[in-house]
A = this chain, B = another copy of it.
Amino acid sequence: MSARENREVRLTARPRGIPQAEHFSVVTEPVAAPGDGEILIQNRYLSVDPAQRGWANDEGNYSAPVPLDTPMRSLAVGEILESNVAGYRAGEHVYGWFGWQRYCVTTPEAVLRRVTPSRLPLSANLSVLGMNGITAYLAFHGLGDPKPGEHVLVSTAAGSVGSFVGQLATIAGCRAVGLTSSGEKAALAKARYGYREMINYRDVADLGAAIRAACPDGNDIFFDNTGGMIADAAIRTMRLRGRVIQCGTAANASWTPTPTGPRPEREILTRRLRWSGFIIFDHLAEFETAAAQLAELALAGKIVHDEEILPGLDHAPGAIARLYRGENHGKLIIAVD
């Protein structure tokens, strides 16, 4: 029996749309000792991701909704304290599905990757070496098929994925332009994330005209994390045989009922677009390779990663709403106290 006290951030009410602080409760409970085949992990950093909106909701989705009164589903990086599994040792760090809580008793199925000690900070395993960096890497290269000299447009360009896409596009010899929600983030993305031009979409009267001005030759790749009106305008700037990568749909707070917008099928046809959806969980087999390549780029100083770390579990309940308000700078992470 462990005498440790767990603190869990439980989903206690089912949101419609964006989860707010009131949909969660922070609960203190004793930690059960790990049984046979289980490990006890002390979480150090918890991830805050746009996808958590979908996991908290009960809409048709790509993963089952989080059950009520259980810790919010999340990625985390932590240290193994006790192990009843051969091959996992106390003191090792791991990255995986450990939830919004201080301690996690789980099986190795929840572990996505062992964390190799490196000069990169432990939290980097939730950003550049985590789902965000790996998503940017695999989606951009796998679905974008970038060629040197091509033009790339990215929505939420200063966000946890977009901040890597701009850098990867530039490394690939492309010209990257980004969209973001504030002048401050636009400046950051130009200074740090490889973007040639940035558009603050909250500050323009005509989004289509702003994109055409920043991308006078159109776009070969649109890396989209938002959908909605930004996507409507962006796909109308695509060049022939352009690729649209749908990596998120953050622009619409709710998909019940389905929101409407201008029909895209004529654009897809006349521009011969290829519009593909990307979900990182289809790509677990490519995970280790992508993380190794990103670590190499990060250690060589070729790719930077910005993290906004909220101090303490009490920040978790409001963190998803904060993300959707666009207030974070780079990857939003919770440090476990």
Number of copies: 2
**A270 in the interface (beta carbon within 8 A):** yes
Most chain B CB within 10 A, of A246, A249, A259, is at A246
Inter-chain contacts of A118 with B (CB < 8 A): none
A206 on the interface (CB 8 Å rule)?
no
Q: Number of residues in A with C-beta < 8 Å to the partner?
A: 36
Which residues of the partner chain B approach A259 to less than 8 Å between Cβ atoms?
262-263
Contacts of A258 in B (CB 8 A): 262-263, 266
Contact partner of A249 among B227, B266, B276, B282, CB < 8 A? B266
User: Which chain B residue shows the least CB distance to A261?
Assistant: B263
Least Cβ distance of A139 to chain B in Å?
11
Q: Chain B residues with Cβ under 8 A from A60's Cβ?
A: 270
Q: Which of B246, B266, B275 makes the CB contact (< 8 A) with A227?
A: B266
Tell me the minimal C-beta distance from A258 to chain B in angstroms.
4
Contacting residues, chain B, for A260 (C-beta < 8 A): 260-263
Binary B-proximity of A55-78 (CB < 8 A = 1, otherwise 0): 000001110000000000000000
A276 to B228, CA, bound (A): 19
Q: Is A147 an interface residue (CB 8 A)?
A: no
CA distance A18 to B264 in the complex (A): 19
A272 to B, closest residue via Cβ: B277
Question: Which of B262, B263, B272, B276 is close to A268, meaning CB atoms less than 8 Å apart?
Answer: B276
10 residue pairs, one from A and one from B, having the closest CB atoms: A227-B265, A258-B262, A269-B277, A268-B277, A272-B277, A275-B275, A62-B270, A246-B268, A246-B269, A274-B276
Given contacts A246-B268, A260-B261, 8 further A-B contacts (CB under 8 A): A228-B263, A248-B269, A249-B269, A255-B266, A270-B277, A270-B279, A272-B278, A272-B282
Q: Which residues of A contact B (CB under 8 A)?
A: 60-62, 224, 227-228, 231, 241, 246-249, 252, 255, 258-266, 268-279, 282
List 30 interface pairs A-B (beta carbons < 8 Å), by A numbering. A62-B270, A224-B265, A227-B263, A227-B265, A246-B265, A246-B268, A246-B269, A248-B269, A249-B269, A255-B266, A258-B263, A258-B266, A260-B262, A260-B263, A261-B263, A264-B264, A268-B275, A268-B276, A269-B277, A269-B278, A272-B276, A272-B277, A272-B278, A272-B279, A272-B282, A273-B275, A273-B277, A274-B277, A275-B275, A275-B276
